[in-house]
């Protein structure tokens, strides 16, 4: 029987990072993963690298370039006649990006001497785990001093829109379309639905998004959500809020989607339908409860907030525990657990996990929203600054969006930063650093920001908290 100091179950952004960090700290480490790529071969990286963050951003960038040919570049005096999109070439590029990065993880495993166990893991109790080969056959039992569960999440399926893998698909299927659907339906106006809907909209699809909730982007700041909805509608997304899907049926021409609103029953005909109503923790087939682990009603493994389960030596990280289902959150939890096992005292603050939605413009935030602060009775000040007052934004031809900063009235400590605009995913890191160090809005206001840059909007918004923005 093989024995390891640490056995990591799952090789997504949480699992593979945890395995590498454990190995760096001198522990004999193995990582079990059952993912198979489109070629039928084992592939590291989990959902994020194989059918999530990475391939979606590859397609997103392609769609941006194509869209800019007809909508942005003419403003710069650049004319391109009869531009076309080769979907097969786009998909080949996406697959190459994925292959490069998944192979890179395999290289990191070799470099750090992490043993890759290719197969399906099942907990047995007493720190024993059965590993069944991908192709079937007898399971191998391994023993570990510590176990890190990083099995991630899977798309939620709904009975009113059963996947057929061809015309009704989940997010994975939406990344593999062989052609641009003339009419595309999306169930769910969350992060995944909006990103995928935006990609295919830019490539030429007529996109209708059906969202059961009456509010758009309920988790985001209200000002950000309102402006984002307006801009996406201007781009051509038909967003229908308060639209509850009641059924769907395949036809010779596509998919008929039935839904209800406050005004009554309605129906929609599309060529393809994406079901993007969220994700759920992937714990059901891991024998979690048989090993003594407790699950919440959603199926997430219950931990103490520091990724420790009720079973000594077993930890859980990423999408399989409570908290935002974000790759970077999973990675940092993986590092923290590895260092805890090694006897160190790592730092991880779930209050400063940044969120990003890769629409155009991008949405990014960290910390509290205004409506959260009001609900909690926190006294705050707000600073606001639009990108239309930023020189770099005008030079680039993209002035949509703004930066909004919330600071504690008494201490001036930064409570939340919300950004809608180009490169918001990059700019938000400044706010995360400031908040991690307990920074104030005055700190951001006193720091020199390079000119001309989009990040100057952060500087001006910080000044605006105190009513002294210079360029508004």
Q: How many residues does the chain have?
A: 472
Residue keyed to tokens 């935002």? 324
CB neighbourhood size of 463 (10 A): 22
| C-alpha 471 chain-centroid distance | 34
By the 10 Å C-beta count (0-12 exposed, 13-18 middle, 19+ buried), 25 is classed as: middle
Q: Could you tell me if 189 and 220 are in contact, meaning their C-beta atoms sit under 8 angstroms apart?
A: no
Q: Could you tell me if 454 and 387 are in contact, meaning their C-beta atoms sit under 8 angstroms apart?
A: yes
Q: Which two tokens mark 230?
A: 């307006």
Q: What residue spans of 265-401 are helical by DSSP H?
A: 327-341, 370-376, 391-396
How far is 36 from 46, CA to CA, in rounded Å? 9
φ, ψ at 157 (rounded to 5°): -100, 155
Residue keyed to tokens 């039992």? 141
By the 10 Å C-beta count (0-12 exposed, 13-18 middle, 19+ buried), 317 is classed as: buried
How far is 452 from 253, CA to CA, in rounded Å? 51
Q: Which two tokens mark 37?
A: 């790529």
Q: Could you tell me if 404 and 368 are in contact, meaning their C-beta atoms sit under 8 angstroms apart?
A: no
Q: Which of 76, 347, 371, 451 is catalytic?
A: 451
Nearest Cα residue to 464 out of 443, 437, 445: 445
Q: Is 451 annotated as catalytic? A: yes
How far is 389 from 75, CA to CA, in rounded Å? 19
Q: CA 464, 468, 471, 472: dihedral to nearest 10 degrees? A: 70
For residue 263, give every residue at least 6 positions away whose Cβ sits within 8 Å of its Cβ, in sequence order, or none: none
DSSP β-bridge partners for residue 413? 440
Q: Which two tokens mark 186?
A: 């999306």
How far is 467 from 80, CA to CA, in rounded Å? 45
According to the 3-state scheme, what is the secondary structure of 224-280?
A: HHHHHHHHHHHHCCEEEECCEEEEEEECCCCEEEEEEECCEEEEEEECEEEECCCEE
Q: What residues act catalytically?
A: 451
């Amino acid at each position: 029987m093989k024995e390891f100091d640490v056995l990591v179950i799952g090789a997504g952004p949480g699992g593979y990072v945890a395995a590498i960090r454990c190995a760096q700290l001198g522990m004999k480490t193995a990582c079990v993963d059952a993912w198979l790529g489109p070629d039928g071969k084992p592939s590291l990286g989990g959902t994020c690298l194989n059918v999530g963050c990475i391939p979606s951003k590859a397609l997103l960038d392609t769609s941006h370039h194509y869209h800019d040919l007809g909508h942005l570049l003419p403003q710069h005096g650049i004319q391109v006649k009869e531009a076309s999109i080769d979907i097969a070439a786009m998909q080949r590029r996406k697959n190459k990006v994925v292959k490069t990065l998944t192979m890179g993880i395999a290289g990191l495993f070799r470099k750090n001497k992490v043993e890759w166990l290719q197969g399906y893991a099942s907990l047995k109790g007493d720190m024993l785990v059965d590993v069944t080969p991908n192709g079937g056959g007898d399971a191998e039992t391994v023993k570990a001093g510590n176990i890190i569960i990083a099995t991630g999440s899977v798309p939620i399926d709904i009975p009113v829109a059963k996947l057929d893998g061809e015309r009704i698909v989940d997010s994975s299927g939406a990344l593999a379309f062989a052609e641009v659907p003339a009419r595309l339906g999306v169930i769910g106006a969350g992060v995944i639905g909006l990103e995928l809907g935006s990609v295919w909209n830019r490539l030429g699809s007529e996109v209708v998004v059906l969202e059961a909730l009456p509010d758009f982007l309920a988790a985001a700041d209200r000002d950000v959500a309102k402006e984002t909805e307006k801009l996406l509608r201007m781009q051509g997304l038909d967003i229908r809020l308060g639209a509850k899907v009641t059924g769907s049926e395949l036809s010779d021409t596509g998919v008929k989607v039935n839904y209800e609103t406050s005004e009554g029953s309605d129906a929609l005909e599309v060529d393809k339908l994406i079901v993007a109503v969220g994700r759920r923790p992937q714990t059901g087939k891991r024998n979690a409860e048989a090993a003594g682990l407790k699950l919440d009603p959603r199926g997430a493994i219950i931990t103490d907030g520091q990724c420790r389960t009720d079973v000594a030596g077993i930890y859980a990280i990423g999408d399989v525990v409570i908290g935002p289902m974000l790759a970077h959150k999973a990675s940092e939890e993986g590092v923290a657990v590895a260092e805890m096992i090694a006897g160190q005292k790592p730092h991880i603050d779930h209050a400063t996990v940044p969120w990003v939605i890769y629409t155009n413009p991008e949405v990014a935030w960290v910390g509290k929203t205004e409506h959260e602060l009001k609900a909690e009775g926190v006294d705050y000040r707000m600073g606001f600054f639009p990108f239309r007052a930023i020189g770099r934004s005008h030079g680039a031809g993209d002035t949509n969006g703004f930066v909004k900063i919330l600071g504690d009235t008494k201490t001036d400590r930064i409570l939340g930063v919300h950004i809608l605009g180009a490169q918001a995913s990059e700019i938000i890191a400044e706010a995360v650093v400031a908040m991690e160090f307990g920074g104030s809005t005055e700190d951001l206001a006193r720091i020199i920001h390079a000119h001309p840059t989009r990040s100057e909007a952060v500087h001006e918004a910080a000044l605006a908290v105190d009513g002294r923005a210079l360029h508004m």
